[in-house]
């Protein structure tokens, strides 16, 4: 009988202990975006724990009531709660320090910014939300060494470790996948980005061909899209300004069991702007669905669609520009873009040390235009020949569709991390252009045109790009890490000309193949938690573009362009992280640079005729004076020179390249007043130094300074914002150039007052 009482006592004691334990389940989200966070560590004092799934959901069973629950995630502030006080939804706050942020683009996986030996900047969700950009240069130009050039209505060119350039030396990605195929670059490609779908942006400066292949020379920009929110979120928004811009849209997002869905749709456009012939319309739509298939595997699917049409105003000569006469010299030019992108990505953690990613993607892209830059006068001022009232242009259409896959395996131990992958991209491309006859008035206005039956170009090119890559990291110690990457690309063009051999584009059918091996080596040395150094060497390449090869009377013998980049940098944190400094010095050399050389008749041909050197110091300084007041100062001091360049017997060797300001700098003073919760006010300054407008360095553009004012306030369900762009109403040109035809200036936007309102249905 005594044994029975003992057993009953033990059972009652055990039952009492069990009664003191509870089961926990809930979600962990980003405090700013409300997205569910995957991979968050949720654990108790005795290290018993779990991680969240793709929707941010977790379960912890049989937890003592009085135990402390800790929630930690790389790049976020750690929080702890008593088990009985654990909220159903835990909102983690991202760390403010740029060096503490987590980046993805550097290795196709989450890594701390200060652990990778490259120049990379992240435009975080909060910065996007408080900037409320009309065009992307409003946020991209906040990054050190970046100058996205506004050409009107989201049209643009770019400058990152390069002069202002229209060439394929920049790679644009969306969730790590190039938005366009190799060989069919478009300097206006960021028209195809859906602003409302963006969560954050990561910018790598310098060659990164070892990871992403062709085009990642001056830089690679990864536009990372939003994830579904953990709880229902429905939002409508509208904004506009006093110079004709309008935008309206809606977002819906939620998670249900193991599935999350987000969708956005919006319209933006302009009517009756300060420049004549400058209307545009853009419709954007986006949907993403995430599914947690089991404890180790999840799948993502996303679709992005853009339908865009704009008038093309072109540049102004000096008389029009400095006289602030914004009469358009082109009355009929236009650009139309349709872009559809899709991907599905399966991620499986086959073990604690190994993860496999398999991505399939597809693209459809069509750019139809009657471009102002293809209009050439019949009259030649240097020869005094031709009809001054006659010009010629073209209507063209460039289309491609793509199917492809990216397979990646990542193996990680305590000291060693190895990533290997293969990518295949098959993209048939077609292009045609027909002549138009253009009438030019005595006042230099191109007012009308007539279509002709004459085809200038008509071809098809099948583009196949196969790439193999590997990336290895080895931690020699807690302070010292080595990295090595390499990629091999095989790019094939199968060109079929649909015109006769006597046509302008009469090149015979051709098959061209380009191969490249691009390594990258780097090291990071952490002196202490406040001081680190890094160094790297990387090689970049780009093959000749389809348009550079096949739009002339013959296929030019063009070779790929190779770039060697040498870089060193440091990260310094002072005064308990109140002052953070990020420095990078680089030297980038190019061989066989493809230059568009102008002939005596005004036509251009592409030739491997130049060697160039690009070097500079990039800097980023953040100062957090108080919790409410912060200052950012970002920029680059650089030079871009021709080492060897002698087109048509003219020696430009040693000259500065045109469109290359020595200093580009941005700063931002921002205040989040404690007495007015969820509000902000910020003053921005963007500075561009003078630069030469031509290869001969005979004429210089004076540069400019622009100031912007931004403010906003969030209420319970409403959010309002007010931005004044070009606060001083400065007259400036976003780009300026000189040629045998004269000077051309692309005027920047005049002062505008922008107001926006959003309403959230929670």
Q: How confident is the model at residue 504 (pLDDT cuts 50, 70, 90)?
A: low
- The full 3-state SS of 248-273, as one line of letters, equals EEEEEEEEECCEEEEEEEEEEEECCC
Summary mean pLDDT of the chain: 89
User: How far apart are the C-alpha atoms of 680 and 542, rounded to whole Å?
Assistant: 43
Residues with Cβ < 8 Å from 656, sequence gap 6 or more? 639, 640, 641, 642, 691, 692, 697
At 615, which helix (H) or strand (E)? Answer: strand 604-624
Q: Which tens digit of pLDDT belongs to each residue from 181-229?
A: 999 999 999 999 999 999 999 999 999 888 888 888 999 999 999 999 9
> Which tokens hold the place of 502?
């006597």
Residue 2: the pLDDT is: 55
User: How far apart are the C-alpha atoms of 566 and 587, rounded to whole Å?
Assistant: 5
Residue 170: the pLDDT is: 93
Q: Which tens digit of pLDDT belongs to each residue from 322-359?
A: 999 998 889 999 999 999 999 999 999 988 889 999 99
User: How far apart are the C-alpha atoms of 545 and 606, rounded to whole Å?
Assistant: 10
What percent of the chain is predicted at pLDDT more than 90? 62
Residue 604: the pLDDT is: 58
Which 3 state secondary structure label does DSSP give 193?
coil
Q: How confident is the model at residue 603 (pLDDT cuts 50, 70, 90)?
A: low
Residue 155: the pLDDT is: 94
CA 38 to mean position of chain CA atoms: 23
Q: How many CB atoms lie within 10 A of CB 707?
A: 17
User: Cα dihedral angle (531, 636, 214, 486), rounded to 10 degrees?
Assistant: -20
C-alpha distance from residue 429 to each of 181, 189, 399, 413, 494 (Å): 9, 16, 6, 43, 10
Residue 605: the pLDDT is: 63
Please name each of the domains of the chain with its CATH number: 2-92 (2.60.40.1120), 274-279+298-761 (2.40.170.20)
Residue 271: the pLDDT is: 94
Residue 112: the pLDDT is: 78
Residue 65: the pLDDT is: 85
Residue 118: the pLDDT is: 87
C-alpha distance from residue 74 to each of 296, 320, 707 (Å): 20, 54, 35
588 close to 562: Cβ distance less than 8 angstroms: no
The DSSP letter of residue 507 is: P
Average pLDDT over residues 604-614: 78
Q: Which tens digit of pLDDT belongs to each residue from 460-501?
A: 999 999 999 999 999 999 899 999 999 999 999 999 998 876
Q: How confident is the model at residue 99 (pLDDT cuts 50, 70, 90)?
A: low
Residue 4: the pLDDT is: 55
Average pLDDT over residues 430-440: 93
The DSSP letter of residue 229 is: B
Average pLDDT over residues 403-415: 92
Q: Which tens digit of pLDDT belongs to each residue from 697-717?
A: 999 999 999 999 999 999 989
User: How far apart are the C-alpha atoms of 541 and 489, rounded to whole Å?
Assistant: 10
User: How far apart are the C-alpha atoms of 200 and 8, rounded to whole Å?
Assistant: 60
Residues with Cβ < 8 Å from 450, sequence gap 6 or more? 436, 437
Q: How confident is the model at residue 314 (pLDDT cuts 50, 70, 90)?
A: confident
User: How far apart are the C-alpha atoms of 147 and 151, rounded to whole Å?
Assistant: 12
Q: Which tens digit of pLDDT belongs to each residue from 120-129?
A: 899 999 999 9
Does the structure show a pLDDT above 60 at 18?
Answer: no
User: How far apart are the C-alpha atoms of 458 and 550, rounded to whole Å?
Assistant: 10
C-alpha distance from residue 59 to each of 17, 22, 65, 83, 722 (Å): 20, 11, 15, 12, 43
User: How far apart are the C-alpha atoms of 211 and 551, rounded to whole Å?
Assistant: 30
Residue 725: the pLDDT is: 97
Which 3 state secondary structure label does DSSP give 344?
strand
Q: What angle do CA 20, 79, 131 make, to 5 degrees?
A: 145
343 close to 177: Cβ distance less than 8 angstroms: yes
Q: How confident is the model at residue 17 (pLDDT cuts 50, 70, 90)?
A: very low
Residue 234: the pLDDT is: 95
- Global pTM exceeds 0.85: yes
DSSP string covering 396-451: EEEEEEEEEEEEEEEEE-SSEEEEEEEEEEEEEEEEEEEEEEEEE-TTS-EEEEEE
735 close to 692: Cβ distance less than 8 angstroms: no
Compute φ and ψ for 280, nearest 5 degrees.
Answer: -155, 160
What percent of the chain is predicted at pLDDT more than 70? 94
């Amino acid at each position: 009988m005594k044994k029975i009482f003992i057993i009953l006592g033990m059972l009652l004691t055990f039952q009492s202990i069990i009664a003191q334990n509870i089961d926990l389940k809930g979600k962990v989200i980003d405090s700013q975006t409300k997205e569910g966070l995957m991979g968050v560590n949720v654990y108790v004092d005795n290290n018993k724990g779990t991680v969240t799934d793709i929707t941010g959901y977790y379960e912890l069973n049989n937890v003592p009531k009085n135990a402390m629950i800790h929630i930690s995630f790389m790049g976020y502030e750690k929080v702890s709660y008593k088990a009985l006080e654990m909220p159903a939804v835990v909102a983690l706050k991202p760390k403010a320090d740029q060096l503490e942020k987590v980046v993805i683009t550097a290795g196709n996986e989450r890594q701390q910014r200060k652990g990778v030996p490259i120049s990379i900047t992240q435009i975080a969700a909060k910065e996007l939300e408080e900037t409320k950009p009309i065009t992307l240069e409003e946020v991209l130009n906040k990054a050190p060494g970046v100058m996205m050039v506004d050409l009107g209505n989201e049209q643009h060119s770019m400058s990152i470790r390069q002069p202002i350039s229209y060439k394929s030396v920049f790679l644009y990605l969306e969730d790590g996948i190039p938005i366009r195929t190799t060989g069919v670059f478009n300097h206006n490609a960021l028209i195809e980005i859906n602003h409302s779908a963006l969560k954050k942006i990561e910018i790598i400066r310098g060659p990164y061909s070892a990871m992403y292949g062709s085009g990642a020379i001056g830089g690679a920009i990864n536009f990372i899209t939003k994830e579904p929110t953990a709880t229902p979120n429905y939002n409508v928004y509208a904004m506009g300004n006093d110079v004709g811009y309008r935008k309206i849209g809606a977002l819906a997002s939620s998670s249900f069991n193991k599935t999350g869905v987000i969708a956005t749709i919006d319209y933006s456009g302009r009517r009756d702007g300060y420049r004549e012939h400058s209307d545009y319309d853009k419709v954007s739509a986006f949907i993403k669905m995430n599914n947690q298939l089991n404890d180790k595997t999840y799948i993502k699917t996303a679709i992005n669609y853009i339908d865009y049409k704009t008038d093309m105003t072109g540049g102004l000569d000096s008389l029009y520009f400095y006289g602030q006469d914004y009469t358009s010299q082109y009355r009929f030019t236009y650009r139309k873009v349709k872009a559809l992108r899709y991907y599905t990505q399966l991620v499986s953690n086959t073990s604690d040390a190994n993860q496999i990613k398999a991505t399939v993607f597809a693209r459809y892209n069509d750019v139809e235009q009657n471009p102002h830059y293809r209009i050439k006068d019949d009259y030649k001022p240097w020869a005094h020949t031709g009809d001054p009232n006659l010009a010629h242009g073209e209507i063209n259409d460039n289309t491609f569709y793509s199917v492809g896959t990216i397979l990646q395996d990542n193996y990680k131990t305590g000291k060693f991390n190895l990533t290997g992958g293969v990518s295949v991209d098959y993209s048939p491309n077609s292009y045609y252009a027909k002549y138009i006859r253009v009438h030019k008035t005595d006042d230099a206005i191109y007012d009308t045109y007539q279509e002709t039956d004459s085809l200038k170009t008509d071809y098809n090119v099948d583009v196949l790009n196969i790439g193999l890559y590997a990336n290895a990291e080895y931690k020699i110690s807690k302070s010292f890490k080595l990295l090595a990457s390499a990629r091999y690309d095989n790019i094939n063009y199968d060109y079929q000309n649909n015109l006769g051999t006597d046509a302008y584009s009469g090149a015979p059918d051709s098959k061209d193949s380009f191969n490249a091996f691009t390594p990258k080596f780097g090291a990071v040395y952490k002196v202490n938690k406040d001081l680190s150094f890094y160094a790297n060497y990387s090689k970049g390449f780009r093959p000749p573009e389809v348009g550079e090869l096949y739009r002339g009377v013959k296929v030019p013998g063009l070779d790929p362009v190779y770039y060697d980049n040498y870089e060193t940098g440091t990260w310094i944190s002072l005064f308990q992280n109140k002052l953070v400094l990020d420095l990078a010095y680089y030297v980038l050399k190019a061989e066989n640079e493809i230059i568009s050389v102008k002939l005596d008749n005004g036509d251009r041909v592409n030739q491997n005729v130049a060697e160039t050197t690009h070097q500079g110091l990039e800097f980023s300084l953040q100062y957090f004076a108080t919790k409410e007041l912060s200052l950012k100062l970002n920029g680059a001091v650089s030079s871009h020179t021709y080492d060897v360049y002698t087109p048509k017997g003219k020696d430009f060797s040693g000259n500065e390249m045109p469109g290359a300001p020595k200093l580009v700098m941005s700063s931002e003073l921002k205040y989040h007043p404690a007495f007015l919760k969820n509000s902000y006010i910020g003053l921005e300054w963007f500075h561009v130094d003078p630069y030469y407008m031509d290869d001969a360095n005979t004429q210089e553009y004076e540069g400019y300074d622009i100031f912007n004012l931004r403010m906003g306030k969030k209420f319970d369900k409403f959010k309002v914002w007010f931005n004044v762009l070009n606060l001083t109403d400065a007259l400036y040109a976003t780009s300026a150039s000189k040629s045998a035809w004269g000077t051309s200036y692309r005027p920047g936007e005049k002062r505008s007052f922008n107001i926006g309102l959003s309403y959230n249905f929670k």
